[in-house]
Amino acid sequence: MRSVSPRLVLPVLSLTVLIAAVFWLQPRAMSYVGINLLFNLAVPIALATVAQMIIIMVNDIDLSMGAFVSLIACITAAILPTDPALGIAMLVGCVLVYAALGALIEIRQLPAIVVTLGMSFVWSGAAVLILPSPGGTAPVWLTAIMKAKPPFVPVAIIASVLIATVAHLIVMRSSFGVKLRALGGNARAVSRSGRSTVLLRASAYGLAGIFAMLAGMALVGLTTSGDANIALRYTLLSIAGVILGGGEFTGGRVSPVGAVIGALTLTLAGSFLSFLRLSPDWQIGAQGAILILVLAARLVVRQAEKRS
Amino acid sequence: MVVRTGDDQTGAQAVPVVELLGASKSFGALKALDHVDLRIAAGECLGLVGHNGAGKSTLVNLITGLFAPTEGQVRYAGAANHLEAGIRAISQEGTLCPNLTVLENLSVVQRDLTGLGWRRRAADRIRSALDVIFPGHRIRSDSLVIDLTLAEQQMVEIAIGFADGLRPARLVVLDEPTSSLDASIAAQLLAHIRRFCAEGGAVIFISHMMGEIFDTASRIVVMRDGRLIAERPAGQFTRQGLVDAMGHVTESDVQPSPAALARALGDKSQAILRTPEGIEARKGEIVGLAGLAGHGQAEALARFYLSQSSDWHGAARPAAAFVAGDRKRDGLMPIWSIRRNLTLAALDTLTRWGLIDTAKEAAIGAEWQRRIGIRTPDMGNPILSLSGGNQQKVLFARALATTAGVIVMDDPMRGVDIGTKTEVYDMIRHEAARGRTFLWYSTEMDEIRNCDRVFVFRNGTISAELEGDRISEENILAASFQFDEDAA
């Protein structure tokens, strides 16, 4: 095995710097409760980022991530507690539709950006139909998992490590993940070797759908209720997380561990700006500035690598 | 040098790995492969030679199962398809995934590398293949392909072709396998091919390096215009025989190009352009860039054209204009009208106060419709309503409608019917007589004959400069392929 990939150096560095800055501004955050509060909301974002990463890995982009996660949240809050069988069937159905979208995109050679943009309205509409006004309740077991208090390490950290590990094993280590990455790297080579690119793209979308489903459920576990607009900003957050984590838009070059770190960094950036007592009006702009800063740093590092 | 003698006899008796029976393949009106019969037996190395468009790639694609033949049959002995038959191909286009490691790339090709411990098995297979073919290589099986040098990537691709798998390799197709390898590494590969064939494997070897073909092939097949023209044991071919076979023998009577006779071009010192590669042209000269496709001609043209134009602003009087060969990628504005497509390059001369003078635009459109014969009732129709040949005429008119003194043409006649070609050749000669210079990359021999001077490219550099009577198919072929002096 090679040592840590150079792709991960910058994401790890930016997260460390941000954590140090937060602890310096607010030393009380350096506790079990503080850390859990800081990273709690990062868990669903990390799951959505991994889902987005799998789509980006096959050279596509998913503009429906936020709407899909919102729909899952509505199903989890409104239907799963009252009618578990129907709820589970709907969740599975959503994942299957995701896989079918992947197949459609490959068979018809459609641009994923258009298909997913169109689907985002479908997901949003379905979410409003299921839950016209914010409400519902989280299933008890889900809240229990998300609000558990294991000794020593907060659940947010355990969950992040678990997500990164599972995603790494599936995407980077398994032969299945290698084939999915091959589709992003050189689709022609994959079809020349006699494999079905339709099946592979459908599996990639299905796998992304599973992670996105977990993101929606985790979100409800934290907020204890659903809303049709609860996760709309996840679309851009997940894309930013993938890129922050060292992934690239094309060529199947992604890092699951990096994606989780990217999601943590983005979440932390919000808290950091609050601790700076920055007016909420400026926060989104400032978050964007942090993103641009990290990307610029990456570009500089890349160019230095190329020259050497 | 021939490796084994009397091979054709044993080859004929042995069970063929693959057999083509009257196989044809057409793409629309173009017949890329025309009733080819060929059998490749275990233990033989078949050298496949031919010029651009001779049908080599189509033949290989039929054998490797990428296309089905439109007529005839491709038969694999004792196997239903090319995968079961153990046929592997290493193509020029590159079949590696750059974002994966070396061993992961092997698992993309080999189906049985799944389940627990697949990485170890993949690493063992690729390492032993690399060790056998390229002893002393320094490629790690867990390196990312993108981090390897071009030569190392080619070595990995070759090793994947020969590596052990669920079904052992029985026929490996190597298309220009040594293009990025240096001489010592290439020699290792050739030695391995001989060893592989001696142990009962079969190889199809395509190369522009004739020395390599003579070194390894037991039998040489020459293709031209989609047919097998000659097929003999390697020892019975000579350098001259190969060149003769590849060319159109009937048209060997060379006449000086009519373009050159029509006008006086002055002596060579009057060149109006010189490129770093060594291409020169005089005013009013038609200069051809020939050679096998992909040997640096298009790049040389692009470098020259880009050096003549600016990234920042358009010029009302450009020094050079470009005619694209790949219409979809480099030429057409697909949703624009024919007229807009035509006047695009001359737009700066049509502009007054930042607005386009539509009357002037319509006049230019009408003039060129008449001069070059664009067949449409209305120049306002969408460009895609035209046939391919007429679309290409529009791109020609776009370049000629400018005041540019040099017209750069990147194989513009690809897939154009013969009637259109003749009309455009006339137009080119006419414009050259009026003092315009043409730089013309073409993969087709009869087009190159229209040139006053020809530069033949090989491996990215000019291997021959031909002028006047010396522009002949034979000379171009001889310069396109590399003959080692001792080979034939």
Q: Which domains does chain B have, with CATH numbers?
A: 7-249 (3.40.50.300), 255-471 (3.40.50.300)
* Closest by CA position to B401, among listed B453, B435, B375, B365: B365
Q: Do A182 and B142 lie within an 8 Å CB cutoff?
A: no
Tens-place pLDDT, residues A102-125: 999 999 999 999 999 999 999 999
Q: How far is B397 from chain A (nearest CA, A)?
A: 33
Q: Going by C-beta distance under 8 Å and a sequence separation of 6 or more, which residues neighbour residue A23?
A: A29, A30
Q: What is the pTM of this model?
A: 0.81
In the predicted model, is pLDDT for residue B242 greater than 60? yes
Residues of A in contact with B121 (CB under 8 A): none
Interface residues on B facing A, Cβ-Cβ cutoff 8 A: 66, 83, 89, 91, 93-100, 104-105, 107-109, 111, 113-115, 118-119, 142
HSE-CB for B33 with a 13 A CA cutoff: 27
CA distances from A73 to A78, A213, A216, B28, B468 (A): 8, 8, 5, 53, 77
Residue B224 sits at φ, ψ, to 5 deg, of -155, 135
d(CA A181, CA B21): 39
Q: How far is B22 from chain A (nearest CA, A)?
A: 25
d(CA B315, CA B337): 23
According to DSSP, the residues that pair with B437 across neighbouring strands are: B406
Banded model confidence at residue B11, pLDDT cuts 50, 70, 90: very low
Q: Do A175 and B115 lie within an 8 Å CB cutoff?
A: yes
Q: Are strands B320-323 and B406-410 parallel, antiparallel or unpaired?
A: parallel
In the predicted model, is pLDDT for residue B189 greater than 90? yes
Q: Which of A1, A2, A193 is nearest residue B108 as measured by Cβ atoms?
A: A193
In the predicted model, is pLDDT for residue B52 greater than 80? no
| B256 or B298, greater pLDDT | B298
Number of Cβ pairs < 8 A linking chain A and chain B? 59
Of B222-231, B303-312, B332-341, the range with the lowest mean pLDDT is B303-312
Tens-place pLDDT, residues B326-345: 888 888 888 899 999 999 88
d(CA A262, CA A278): 22
pLDDT for the residue B7: 43
Query: Span A221-239, mean pLDDT?
Result: 92
Q: Do A175 and B97 lie within an 8 Å CB cutoff?
A: no
Q: How far is B295 from chain A (nearest CA, A)?
A: 23
Q: Which residues of B301-311 are buried (b: 16+ CB within 10 A; e: fewer)?
A: beebbeebbee
Identify the structural domains of chain A with CATH numbers, from first to last: 36-299 (1.10.3470)
In the predicted model, is pLDDT for residue B89 greater than 70? yes
In the predicted model, is pLDDT for residue B285 greater than 60? yes
Q: Which of A193, A194, A251 is nearest residue B98 as measured by Cβ atoms?
A: A251
d(CA B64, CA B456): 31
| Amino acid in the structure at residue B185 | I
Tens-place pLDDT, residues A286-302: 878 877 887 888 888 87
Q: Going by C-beta distance under 8 Å and a sequence separation of 6 or more, which residues neighbour residue B101?
A: B141, B142, B143, B144, B145
In the predicted model, is pLDDT for residue B93 greater than 90? no
Banded model confidence at residue B253, pLDDT cuts 50, 70, 90: very low
